[in-house]
């Protein structure tokens, strides 16, 4: 319906959301769940990069690390410290899961910044799997560790008795909104940034304002490099916060 507004007369030469189109790698038949698409391709590339950095890069296990090894050690140490700071010592057991999430999101975000590439994390379908995965895992873990005691997370014993049902209702709602906001935050940020770059790229076709819009693209690209890292960090630290709630529901 909005096509008329963006047609030949509308100004933009291409649609800013075209870059998020999922297309099969071979031929163009219908897309089933097993069809290799560009999402598969770029997830695979991200996986290969992660393997290259963490398996091949640290294979030597030098006492004095090489450059690649020190990058890997830096990331490992950074996330390990974060998990330990937020969730306490018993949370360190779940570090592999959290580190996997962080590295996957970080690499897909950064690979998506390469021109003509594709960002799997810009799709809510991808981030929702990650977000709901965290939600389900954390909820099950909470019930497994604390049984019905876990529901104390919603029943604030330090609030006045009259207010407690109201607070419990709000807490329950906010608990169930968590996976939604968790996944939409990542997808929305990445998608918004990429769409803005494309909108400015559309303005570059108009000769009078093309220098301004190209400068704007450079500036926004710099911002996107920042956002890609921060969103991976934010996703991970929120996972840690949710994990902390499951491990220590009392406070």
Partner 1 sequence: MEGDIANMGQFIGAGLAAIGSGAAAIGVGHVAGNFLAGALRNPSAAGSQTATLFIGLAFAEALGIFSFLVALLLMFAV
- CA 246 from chain center: how many Å? 21
Q: How many angstroms separate the CA atoms of 140 and 130, rounded?
A: 15
**Nearer Cβ to partner 1 (48/170):** 170
**Nearer Cβ to partner 1 (10/44):** 10
* 16-35: contacts with partner 1 (CB under 8 A): 17
Number of chain positions touching partner 1 (CB under 8 A): 22
CA distances from 73 to 31, 58, 64, 118 (A): 39, 8, 11, 28
**Nearest distance, CB of residue 241 and partner 1, angstroms:** 7
CA distances from 10 to 2, 4, 17, 202 (A): 10, 7, 15, 11
How many CB atoms sit inside 10 A of residue 207's CB? Answer: 7
If binding is defined by CB under 8 A, does position 226 make contact with partner 1? no
Residue 162: beta bridge partners?
Answer: none
Collapsed DSSP state (helix, strand, coil) of residue 95:
helix
Give the tokens for residue 45: 């590339």
If binding is defined by CB under 8 A, does position 75 make contact with partner 1? no
* 151-210: contacts with partner 1 (CB under 8 A): 181, 184-185, 188-189, 191-192, 195
If binding is defined by CB under 8 A, does position 220 make contact with partner 1? no
Q: Which of 46, 86, 138, 216 binds partner 1 (CB under 8 A)?
A: 86
If binding is defined by CB under 8 A, does position 85 make contact with partner 1? yes
Q: Hunting for tokens 């290259």 — which residue is that?
A: 52
Q: Which of 234, 244, 248, 249 binds partner 1 (CB under 8 A)?
A: 234
Residues forming contacts to partner 1 in the complex (CB under 8 A) are 1-2, 4-5, 17, 82, 85-86, 181, 184-185, 188-189, 191-192, 195, 230, 233-234, 237-238, 241
């Amino acid at each position: 319906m909005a096509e008329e507004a963006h047609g030949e007369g509308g100004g933009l030469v291409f649609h800013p959301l075209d870059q998020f189109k999922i297309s099969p790698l071979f031929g163009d038949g219908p897309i089933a769940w097993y069809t290799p698409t560009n999402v598969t391709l770029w997830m695979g590339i991200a996986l290969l990069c992660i393997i290259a950095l963490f398996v091949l890069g640290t294979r030597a296990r030098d006492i004095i690390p090489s450059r690649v090894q020190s990058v890997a050690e830096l990331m490992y140490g950074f996330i390990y410290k974060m998990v330990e700071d937020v969730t306490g010592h018993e949370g360190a057991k779940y570090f592999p899961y959290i580190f996997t999430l962080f590295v996957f999101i970080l690499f897909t975000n950064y690979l998506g910044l390469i021109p003509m590439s594709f960002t799997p994390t810009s799709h809510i379908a991808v981030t929702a799997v990650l977000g709901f995965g965290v939600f389900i895992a954390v909820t099950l873990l909470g019930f497994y560790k604390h049984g019905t005691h876990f529901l104390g997370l919603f029943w604030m014993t330090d609030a006045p008795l009259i207010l407690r049902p109201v607070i419990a209702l709000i807490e329950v709602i906010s608990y169930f909104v968590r996976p939604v906001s968790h996944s939409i935050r990542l997808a929305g940020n990445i998608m918004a940034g990429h769409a803005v770059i494309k909108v400015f790229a559309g303005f570059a076709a108009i000769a009078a304002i093309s220098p301004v819009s190209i400068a704007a693209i450079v500036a926004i690209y710099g911002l996107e490099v920042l956002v890609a890292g921060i969103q991976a960090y934010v996703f991970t630290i929120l996972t840690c916060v949710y994990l902390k709630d499951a491990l220590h529901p009392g406070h």
